[in-house]
Amino acid sequence: MYDADQQKVLLNRTKAFLQAKEKLDTDNVDALRDVLRFHEWRYYVQDNPAIADPEYDQLFKQLQAFEEKHPDQVTPDSPTQRVASDLTKEFPEVNHLRPMLSLDNSYNEEDLRDWDRRVRSFLEQDAKVEYSVEPKFDGASIAIVYEDDYLRRGATRGNGTTGEDVTPNVKVMNTVPLKAPFSENGIKRIEVRGEVMINKAHFKHFNEQRMAEGLSILANPRNAASGSLRMQDAKEVAKRGLEAYLYQVGIAEDAEGNSMLDEAVTTHAESIALLNKLGFKTPTDEIRVCTRMEEVLAYCREWEEKRDDYPYEIDGMVIKVNRFDQQEQCGYTSHHP
Ligand code: IVH
């Protein structure tokens, strides 16, 4: 997302703004926004903050003060626009751009070997198949639409065809960019999908706080994530520490409405790498591309070992045919690919 040179420049600008060497005005306010976005990315996506919280707050307040004085200059992707100022009254229903299907389940190695044989039967004889393997995150699924690089809508899965429009609650998640440069890759409209989660440590802390306040405790991180996503007050949602991990591109279209899937990227692993490069939190470190079923099984076993120490709840592993053209050749039922 940011190479070493860009980071150096942004860190220098950070210093300049912190020392208030530059007076904030119409010409450099965007530079401050870029600085704040960079630090959000370091903090939330990279888990490696470059400045201390009070310094970030100081910069944020500088921007807030400027925007209060110049409301006409507030941009929709300004870091100040994450927390919605008013309450959402209800969630309108929205249709997903493409149905959100379910995953088919396997519970043992024999099931998986059968599935591998079935996949190969759909492809040309002796075709090479790659599988990408990643954790199945136990949270609440979400579909986020960007158009002309701006976040336009965030919706819950609902019944797979229709979900609830929870855009204000999606916007408060710092792991979700309000603007991402999809257009640089020729993409005008894109629906990205993922899982909203609360990490285990945050969940524990959150429940301890609730207990201290005499409130009921929440059953598990998944319930906490899906309940939080549907809260009416986006400011409350912001306090819950929700994070979104993006694991799928639903649709990607150019200006003429033609599909860009298989144009901009040709495999699932590449699509995740692209989302990561554009500033999203993705299971990049967790994905492994395997060429043989033995490797898939070994990687699943590896996760059985480390699952308890992983910061998020997972409830299995997801195995995907990596190449999009091969995914198409395998097809899907009304329930799952
Ligand atoms: S891919 C066809 N990848 O599992 C569905 N889903 O039953 C393609 N999930 O509600 C989804 N982790 O929210 C995919 N790494 C992952 C996932 C994942 C969790 C959830 C998803 C959906 C359910 C599918």
- The per-residue pLDDT string of the chain (337 residues; one tens digit each, 9 = 90 and over) reads 899 999 999 999 999 999 987 678 999 999 999 999 999 998 888 878 899 988 998 999 999 999 999 999 999 999 988 865 444 557 899 999 988 888 888 888 999 999 999 999 999 988 999 999 999 999 999 999 999 999 999 999 988 889 999 999 999 999 999 999 999 999 999 999 999 999 999 899 888 988 898 888 888 898 889 888 988 888 888 888 899 999 999 999 999 999 988 787 899 999 999 999 999 999 999 999 999 999 999 999 999 999 999 999 999 999 999 999 999 999 887 778 8
Lookup result for tokens 């050749």:
329
Q: Which two tokens stand for residue 253?
A: 């279209």
* pLDDT value, residue 85: 46
H or E stretch at 234: helix 234-239
Report which DSSP code applies to 219. S
For residue 248, which atom of ligand 1 is closest to its CA? Answer: 1
Which tokens belong to 327? 């995914």
Whether the CB-CB separation of 104 and 116 falls below 8 Å is answered with no
First to last CA, the chain: 31
CA distance 105 to 84: 39
Largest CA distance in the chain: 67
Of the candidates 219, 248, 221, which has an alpha carbon nearest to the alpha carbon of residue 327? Answer: 248
- pLDDT given at position 87: 46
Residues lining ligand 1, judged by CB closer than 6 Å? 101-103, 134, 136-137, 141, 157, 195, 247-248, 318, 336-337
Exposure on the CB side of residue 72, measured as CA atoms within 13 A: 1
| Predicted local distance difference test score (pLDDT) of residue 243 | 95
CA of 103 from ligand 1 middle (Å) equals 6
Q: What are phi and psi of 252, to 5 degrees?
A: -145, 125
Supply the pLDDT for residue 83.
Answer: 65
pLDDT at 130: 97
**Could you confirm whether 69 is annotated as catalytic?**
no
Q: Which residue's CA lies nearest to atom 16 of ligand 1?
A: 136
In this prediction, residue 240 carries a pLDDT of 86
Burial 137-167 (b: 16+ CB within 10 A, else e): bbbbbbbbbbeebebebbbbbbeeeebbbbb
Distance 214 CA to ligand 1 centre (A): 35
The neighbouring-strand residues paired with 246 are 194
Nearest CA to ligand 1 atom 23: 102
Q: Give the residue whose CA is nearest to atom 13 of ligand 1.
A: 141
Q: What pLDDT was estimated at residue 89? A: 52
17 touches 62 (CB < 8 A): yes
Atom of ligand 1 nearest to the CA of 135: 15
Distance 83 CA to ligand 1 centre (A): 27
**Active-site hit among 8, 61, 136, 306:** 136
Atom of ligand 1 nearest to the CA of 102: 7
Pocket mutation for ligand 1, best pick of 101, 137, 226, 249 (most atoms within 8 Å of C-beta): 137
Q: How much distance in Å is there from the Cα of 240 to the middle of ligand 1?
A: 22
What residues contact 321, with CB distance under 8 A and at least 6 apart? 119, 129, 130, 131, 268, 327, 330
CA dist., res. 320 & res. 311, Å (int)? 23
Element of type H or E holding 117: helix 109-122
Ligand 1 centroid, distance to 102 Cα (angstroms): 7
Nearest ligand 1 atom, CA 195: 13
d(CA 235, CA 85): 8
